[in-house]
């Protein structure tokens, strides 16, 4: 048994529903990272937790696993390529520890994938890019440097 004295559900918002978010691009940050052993016990993966930073899905969490230590060389190659994309997106090209990737904004591309075991839809992070600076995006759209604009 657990002591729940002092808890009042009237004072706490209930947990929301955990349906997958729609496919698309989302501004996010990595909030957690951890190396974990794989189920077969013959390798390990880096699990990254992403938190959406804005929009209607703000604060939703998504996860990805990078098989950095695995007997399948192709799995390792794919994981290293994804890690490279993440590093480039956050501007940390040679991290010594995964914590160096935390809390830096990047854009993640999320897709929906059908689970083989249950047939339910789930989210999968399948792309990483730099967050565009608003001033640069506006300058690019206008093709006139900001210092030459009237205003």
Q: How many domains in the chain?
A: 1
Cβ neighbours of residue 111 closer than 8 Å, sequence gap 6 or more? 23, 123, 124, 126
- Residue 62 resides in a domain: yes
Per-residue model confidence (pLDDT) at position 125: 97
- Residue 2 resides in a domain: no
- Residue 7 resides in a domain: no
Q: Is 0.75 surpassed by the pTM of this model?
A: yes
- Residue 1 resides in a domain: no
- Residue 109 resides in a domain: yes
Angle, vertex CA 5, rays to CA 3 and CA 8, nearest 5: 125
Which residues constitute the domain of residue 45?
20-148
Give the full edge-to-edge strand order of the sheet including 24-37: 61-69, 44-52, 24-37, 106-114, 121-130
User: Average pLDDT of the chain?
Assistant: 88
Q: Which CATH number fits the domain that encloses residue 45?
A: 2.40.50
CA dihedral 135, 140, 146, 150 (to 10 degrees): -120
- Residue 127 resides in a domain: yes
pLDDT tier at 7, thresholds 50, 70, 90: confident
- Residue 50 resides in a domain: yes
- Residue 35 resides in a domain: yes
């Amino acid at each position: 048994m657990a002591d729940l004295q002092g808890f009042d559900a009237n004072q706490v918002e209930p947990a929301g529903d955990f349906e997958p978010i729609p496919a698309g691009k989302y501004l996010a940050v990595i909030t957690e990272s951890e190396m974990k052993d794989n189920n077969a016990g013959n390798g390990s993966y880096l699990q990254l937790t992403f938190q959406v930073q804005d929009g209607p899905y703000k604060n939703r969490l998504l996860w990805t696993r990078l098989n950095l230590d695995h007997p399948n060389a192709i799995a390792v190659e794919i994981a290293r390529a994804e890690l490279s994309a993440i590093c480039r997106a956050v501007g940390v090209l040679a991290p010594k520890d995964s914590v160096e990737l935390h809390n830096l904004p990047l854009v993640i591309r999320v897709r929906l994938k059908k689970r083989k075991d249950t047939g339910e839809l789930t989210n999968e992070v399948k792309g990483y890019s730099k967050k565009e600076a608003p001033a640069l995006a506006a300058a690019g759209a206008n093709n006139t440097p900001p210092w030459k604009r009237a205003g």
